[in-house]
Amino acid sequence: MMDLMEIAGKSAPVFPVEAVLLNPMDDEWDDQMTYININYGWIWSHIFVHLGLPLSVYIYNHNLIHYNVHYRALKWFLPLVMVWQFEKCYKYYRTQLTKGILFDEYVQARADELIAQREHLLHTDQVKRYLNWQIDFKETMQNIKREQTNNHASDFKQAELALQAFIGRWVDPAVGIKYPLAGPRYQWGGF
């Protein structure tokens, strides 16, 4: 019984690997494109140095700045500087975020192009044969069950017949099983 299940599993036709894998020798993969991350360290240091320190000085010297006639201009100038620094920080953040979003869109567009280039390989007879084998194998394995509990080989009589019928459908007696997982599976010259 176990030998029949092993033979049935090894009778699968070879799936065309070039339909789902890319050629690793392609020059396109030489690009060192790293994912763009937002530099949060720069943002936090900018907030601390250019916003936090002047704001703390302003708060600490509030009485001096607001109630001294000589510092009237500083009272109106410092909030403008704070808004300008915040705008500079936010602009940097939005620039980094936009670069990341654009990079994501480029990667998705390139992936869609690669899928479209190889889509015709999924409509071949080899893929249809492999899918039919998968469906047939699943249905056959669902029908395999123990009929009796005599701890004897005859407990799986119907299951063995179902497996033998499956092997008869998918294995050519003149050729036998080719064991597709045993040899090299990827041909580099097909591109």
Per-residue pLDDT of 58-71, as tens digits, reads 889 888 888 888 88
Which is more confident, 91 or 71?
91
Please write the tens of the pLDDT for every residue from 19-61. Answer: 778 777 877 777 777 778 899 999 999 999 999 988 898 889 8
Q: With a cut of 80, say whether residue 174 has pLDDT above it.
A: no
The contacts of residue 65 (CB under 8 Å, 6+ apart) are: 58, 71, 74, 75, 78
List of long-range contacts for 77-81, beta carbons under 8 Å, 24+ apart: 78/54, 81/54
Q: Would you state the pLDDT for residue 179? A: 52
DSSP letter assigned to residue 14: P
Q: Would you state the pLDDT for residue 115? A: 87
C-alpha 162/C-alpha 25 separation (Å) is 45
C-alpha 92/C-alpha 97 separation (Å) is 9
pTM score of the predicted model: 0.55
DSSP letter assigned to residue 13: P
Terminal Cα-to-Cα distance of the chain (whole angstroms) = 42
DSSP letter assigned to residue 150: S
Q: Would you state the pLDDT for residue 178? A: 59
C-alpha 181/C-alpha 42 separation (Å) is 52
Q: What confidence tier does 109 reach under pLDDT thresholds 50, 70, 90?
A: very high
